[in-house]
Structure 1
Amino acid sequence: MSDQNPHIDSSKFIHLLHQDGNKAFELLFKLYFDKLLHLAKYYLNSTEDAEEIVQDVFIKLWERRKKITELNNSYLFTMTKNACLDYLKHQAVVLKKSKELFDSQLADPLRFIQNETASYILEKELDQKIQESIAALPTKQREVFIKSRVNGKKNLEIAQELQISKRTVDTHITLALKAMRIQLKEFLMVML
């Protein structure tokens, strides 16, 4: 390539990345976004998740631009592949935890409740505690959680409605459930 448009393997490009990050970054984005997106889609089977992963890769590149001493195709593809694998591992952990929680709740279905009156009182108390824990969530988390768990909307539908990524919706729900478990833990311990 000419001096005006150095190849990304060259020291001139690294220098350009350090000195005029915007121009170099724009060139990187134009050259590699579609290629990295194709790779991410291969791993994730979801265009939306793949786009978010590739955007995250470019954000990391931007944040590290002053520290980069060597940059090539392999570096970019490896970053993308690793980001995809990390995402898949995270999804597997979330799924496993959800399944464990569901299974544990089925295995011990409130055996301690002896009669309908006690059951009704505890149900009302639990409902109140759940409503309080939902109300204590940050605004966006609460909105996403209600749309998902109360209104029964799918995460993709919520993402489109709120104009945020599906991954952001997943994160809001995960954080909301974690906060609610912490808040409800004390109440549930008393009941057990």
Structure 2
Amino acid sequence: MSDQNPHIDSSRFIHLLHQDGDKAFELLFKLYYDKLLHLAKYYLNSTEDAEEIVQDVFIKLWERRRNITALNNSYLFTITKNACLDHLKHRSVVQKKSKEHYERQLADPLRFIQNETASLILEKELDEKIQESIAALPDKQREVFTKSRLEGKKNMEIAQELKISKRTVDTHITLALKAMRLQLKEFLMFML
């Protein structure tokens, strides 16, 4: 080969890489990019990952260009192969962690079911306590409260239906809520 186009394993090319790195590096890139990409695709089965690996290989070569004392085909193929194997190892670790995370997530629904069962029990107990506290209200308060909160009627409707003032309805509801808060106080503290 003429001096115009040196072999990459010649001392002249190494000297060129040290002195005029841009020109030598461009030549190296043109000669080997496609070959290294083909090798990386073989290992990784992904064009995108292979391109990234080969770019990283060239970046490392550029960063170390002043320290390179010998450079040949096998060196370039070896560092590309090693980069691919490192990538595969990293991907394997990530997949393992993802699998472990997925398995932990599968275990969570069991805890959710247990928590849901506990919630249902608490909900049932709360409902029973509410029913007991409503039953303990004086008759008129219970009637007004039931129409307001359980039947969803407006205070004015209740007043007209029971032939009492709206203010009396408001008072009955206020007293009923106060009495129920007292009755449910311990249960509500437990819930918080």
Query: Which SS does the other structure have where 2:2 is aligned?
Result: coil
Against the structure 1 CA distance between its residues 30 and 117, is the aligned structure 2 distance closer, same or farther, given a 3 Å change threshold?
farther
Tell me which residue corresponds to 2:107: 107
Against the structure 1 CA distance between its residues 58 and 115, is the aligned structure 2 distance closer, same or farther, given a 3 Å change threshold?
same
Tell me which residue corresponds to 1:3: 3
Percent sequence identity is: 80
Once the two structures are TM-superposed, the CA of residue 105 in structure 1 deviates from its matched residue by 2.2
Structure 1 gap segments, 5+ residues each: 119-192
For residues 55-66 of structure 1, what are the structure 2 equivalents within 5 Å? 55-66=55-66
Which structure is higher in RCO with an 8 Å CA cutoff and minimum separation 6?
A: 1
TM-score normalised over the length of structure 1: 0.58
Once the two structures are TM-superposed, the CA of residue 107 in structure 1 deviates from its matched residue by 2.1
Tell me which residue corresponds to 2:87: 87
Query: Which SS does the other structure have where 1:89 is aligned?
Result: helix
1:33-56 CA deviation, whole Å, 9 max, x = no partner? 000011001001111111111011
Give the Cα–Cα distance (whole angstroms) in 2 for the partners of residues 5 and 67 of structure 1.
22
Q: Given residue 25 of structure 1, which amino acid in structure 2 is its aligned partner?
A: F
Q: Given residue 58 of structure 1, which amino acid in structure 2 is its aligned partner?
A: F
Tell me which residue corresponds to 2:158: none
Once the two structures are TM-superposed, the CA of residue 117 in structure 1 deviates from its matched residue by 10
Tell me which residue corresponds to 1:44: 44
For residues 106-145 of structure 1, what are the structure 2 equivalents within 5 Å? 106-109=106-109, 110-111=111-112, 113=115, 114-115=118-119
Q: Given residue 50 of structure 1, which amino acid in structure 2 is its aligned partner?
A: A
Give the Cα–Cα distance (whole angstroms) in 1 for the partners of residues 18 and 86 of structure 2.
28
Runs of 4+ in 1 over 3 A off after TM superposition: none
Q: Given residue 64 of structure 1, which amino acid in structure 2 is its aligned partner?
A: R
For residues 8-19 of structure 1, what are the structure 2 equivalents within 5 Å? 8-19=8-19
Structure 2 gap segments, 5+ residues each: 123-192
Larger radius of gyration: 2
Structure having the larger proportion of residues in helix: 2
Pairing 1:77–2:77 present = yes
Give the Cα–Cα distance (whole angstroms) in 2 for the partners of residues 72 and 60 of structure 1.
15
Against the structure 1 CA distance between its residues 18 and 117, is the aligned structure 2 distance closer, same or farther, given a 3 Å change threshold?
farther
For residues 143-182 of structure 1, what are the structure 2 equivalents within 5 Å? none
Query: Which SS does the other structure have where 2:53 is aligned?
Result: helix
Tell me which residue corresponds to 1:170: none
Tell me which residue corresponds to 1:97: 97
Query: Which SS does the other structure have where 2:66 is aligned?
Result: coil
Q: Given residue 21 of structure 1, which amino acid in structure 2 is its aligned partner?
A: G
Query: Which SS does the other structure have where 2:67 is aligned?
Result: coil
Q: Given residue 56 of structure 1, which amino acid in structure 2 is its aligned partner?
A: D
Q: Given residue 115 of structure 1, which amino acid in structure 2 is its aligned partner?
A: S
Query: Which SS does the other structure have where 1:9 is aligned?
Result: coil
Q: Given residue 73 of structure 1, which amino acid in structure 2 is its aligned partner?
A: N
Once the two structures are TM-superposed, the CA of residue 70 in structure 1 deviates from its matched residue by 0.3
1:104-123 CA deviation, whole Å, 9 max, x = no partner? 221243356220699xxxxx
Once the two structures are TM-superposed, the CA of residue 5 in structure 1 deviates from its matched residue by 1.6
